[in-house]
Amino acid sequence: MENEHNGREPGSGPVRDVEPFWEEPEPAPPRDVESAWAQPLRRPPQPRPPADPEPAVPEITPAARPSVAVHPNEAVYRPVARDRPGGAPPAFLPPDSAVHQPGRPETTPLPHQRPEAPAPQQPAPAQSASQQPASQQPAPQQPAPRRRPEGDPIQEALAGSGDTPTADEFARRRLAPPPAPSATMGPRALVGKGTLGLVRLAPGRREMDYRQDVDTVRRNFGGLRQVTVVNPKGGAGKTVAVLLLAMTFGQKRGGYVLAWDNNETQGTLGMRAQQDFHNRTVRDMLSDLPLLQGVRGRVGDLSKYVRSQGEGMFDVLASDESATAGEMLTAGAFAEIRDVVSRFYKLIFVDTGNNVRAENWQAAIDATDQLVITMSARNDSAETAARMLDHLETSGRQRLVRQAVTVVTMPPTRKDIDLPSIQAHFAARTRAVQMAPYERLIDSGEPLRYGALSSGTREAWLKIAAAVAEGL
């Protein structure tokens, strides 16, 4: 059996001088490496893809050919008034439904109906800067100002004020906002206490009026102010009004309040006020006046002549309580005493006597900043006050009368009183008319204490004090 070794049997010996049946490849000639890198790489030519066949244009029959070629977008604004009965205004198809309408073939615009592009404008021949007028010459480019980023507090402050911020604006940021108002009086306050502060109701109308009156009484008047209480008729409530006004201002404002009895003879202000460790009066002060005048006078030395009212937080300068006293006070004596007390008090309430012709009465009116007219709800007391106003107007004090406050004290019963006529007369002549309720403690003639007054009396005199403070 012959094999692949040229017909020799295996094991018959080595095969020698046998030529291979394949051809050896000829060695490639050597190439220059540098010249090979210098030649660009060339890709073999790629066969081109066969061209797409042209799309067949469907033949449009005369029945389907439209009378006028319309652009597809024109259907968006095509009115369809023919479909709306009753001559309704034309409606417009929405864009989605206007792209294709049933029964109308989609067509493309003809070449002669396509909108032509606007012809480019030819630029004007350039002119030199010397040939252009001054108004048309471009302004020199200025560097844009450097702006701060959005949300910058400094930029917002400058934009809001329109000017450089001042020190006052910087200091205003430290003002604490007012707390949210919550009720402190009446049933609304009880709800907050019952819930341990979890439920806080806003104050009611009554409490809001009370807070406004307190703020009016506490405001700064900008200097010394004198309030004079007048009525030539005895028993008209002048002394009580001075005490209650001084109590109210002392309670709501603090100290530096003086109630001064300027009665020409014997007054009752010291009798209705709380007693002190001494019984000195204005007569004693007048005799020791040189010790209090000038730089030697001190507030501690003045306390020997005034009576402190404790919880009322005001002082009382009583008049002479002796019925057999000497001569009446003069205008000069009033001016000297006022000069001394004005250095230690901010607010002075002056109680006057019944003689409008007395010098100290006239001197008190001349130094008055706010006039208060008191009367009981009786025709005789009101008529005496009206005649006094006539005297003040004829003496050139019309402005003092127009700015005055009238206080009408009510009796225990309103039977047989002509209150509407009294209110109408003094409302036409003075700035305000206030009503003071009846108080049994006041009618008793005993010394007055602020804590012993009823809540209704305290609230009524707070309104009267607020009306007085508005004129200061």
List the one residue out of 361, 349, 368, 360 whose CA is nearest residue 388.
361
Residue 247 one-letter amino acid: M
What HEC string does 353-379 produce?
A: CCCCCCHHHHHHHHCCCEEEEEEECCH
Tell whether 135 is covered by a domain.
no
Tell whether 445 is covered by a domain.
yes
* Buried b / exposed e along 304-318 (16+ C-beta atoms within 10 A): ebbbebeebbbbbbb
pLDDT at 235: 86
Tell whether 347 is covered by a domain.
yes
265 shares a domain with 205: no
342 shares a domain with 307: yes
Q: If DSSP codes are grouped into helix, strand and coil, which group holds residue 12?
A: coil
203 shares a domain with 247: no
Tell whether 112 is covered by a domain.
no
pLDDT at 98: 45
Tell whether 380 is covered by a domain.
yes
212 shares a domain with 226: no
pLDDT at 434: 95
Tell whether 224 is covered by a domain.
yes
pLDDT at 206: 83
List the one residue out of 361, 450, 347, 350 whose CA is nearest residue 397.
361
374 shares a domain with 264: yes
pLDDT at 1: 46
Q: What is the CA radius of gyration of the chain?
A: 55
pLDDT at 2: 46
278 shares a domain with 202: no
pTM of the full structure:
0.62
Query: Are the CB atoms for 61 and 48 separated by under 8 Å?
Result: no
Rounded CA gap, 206 and 403, in Å?
Answer: 27
pLDDT at 297: 72
Q: How many CB atoms lie within 10 A of CB 166?
A: 10
Domain that holds residue 203: 183-218
Question: Tell me, what CATH number does 466's domain have?
Answer: 3.40.50.300
Tell whether 148 is covered by a domain.
no
What's the Cα-to-Cα distance from 83 to each of 79, 93, 102, 230, rounded to whole Å? 9, 11, 15, 93
pLDDT at 3: 47
pLDDT at 334: 92
385 shares a domain with 395: yes
Per-residue pLDDT of the chain (472 residues; tens, 9 = 90+): 444 444 455 544 554 555 555 555 566 565 555 555 555 555 666 666 666 666 665 555 555 555 545 455 544 444 444 455 555 555 444 544 444 455 555 555 555 555 555 555 555 555 554 555 555 555 556 655 555 556 565 556 555 555 677 888 777 777 766 666 777 777 777 777 777 777 777 777 888 888 899 999 999 888 899 999 999 998 889 999 999 999 999 999 887 899 999 988 778 888 888 888 888 888 888 888 888 887 777 778 888 899 988 888 899 999 887 766 656 788 889 999 999 999 889 999 999 988 899 999 999 999 999 999 999 998 899 999 999 999 999 999 999 999 999 999 998 887 778 899 999 999 999 999 999 999 988 888 888 988 899 999 999 999 999 999 999 8
